[in-house]
Amino acid sequence: MSRPFDLVVFDCDGVLVDSERLSTRLDAELLAQLGWPLTEAEIVERWVGRTETAMKAEIEDHLGRDVSDEWAAFNVRYLKAFAEQLQPVDGVAEAVDAIQAAGYETCVASSGDLPKIRRNLAKTGLLDRFGDRLFSADDVEHGKPAPDLFLHAAEVMGAPPARTAVVEDSRHGVAAARAAGMWAFAYGGGVTPPVALEGPRTTVFSDMRRLPALIAGAASPA
């Protein structure tokens, strides 16, 4: 049976693990403490899908001061919340199993650092499904929305960009997939409004259980 893609790349936060709601709530608390109160919707628009380094740099630029001490202290709250509350995205384990059973190569490419990716996947029981096929923003010079991370993952996995699908949940991540010349399957069941994910070479969906059929039914982009 002919498959439309050779490789399916999964983002981690918001796609595999339901972390964005936790993160956004805590980000709002941190920003209020720092003196730049933003709504959760504003935080989603600005930073979901981007690296922690990029977020911290933008905050420091806005405030005109270093926030490293507060950032480090608040990180303890993030780690505690994730250890106690983090869950896999509903239906994603079944979706990954079905995609792998259909013969697709899979990997993870996330804006988080590698220890965070491993920790969150292990906490939610998903790590064994991907083994060492994990790529982080630390592997490349430019994070999302630049295409570097997805292009790097595809190159290492031996898949042409045009034969690669990306599963993303953020506006910046979907933009990175498009810029890489890949097809984006944009999960609209998270914190980013589905309308913000729409665009060229993109399939928007809100039920992770539908993903295997959507991938199998996609027209070949090659």
Peptide bond between residue 37 and the one before it cis (omega within 30 degrees of 0): no
CA 209 to chain centre: 18
| 117 Cβ neighbours under 8 A, 6+ residues apart | 12, 108, 110, 134, 136
> Token pair for residue 164?
């690669």
- 3-class DSSP state of 43: helix
Q: Three-state DSSP class for 216? A: helix
Contact 149, 166 (CB under 8 A): no
187 beta partners? 205
Q: Is 11 a catalytic residue?
A: yes
Contacting residues for 33 by C-beta, under 8 A, at least 6 apart: 70, 74
User: φ and ψ at 161, to 5 degrees?
Assistant: -55, -40
Tell me the backbone φ, ψ of residue 214, rounded to 5 degrees. -65, -40
Where in the sequence numbering do the catalytic residues fall?
Answer: 11, 13
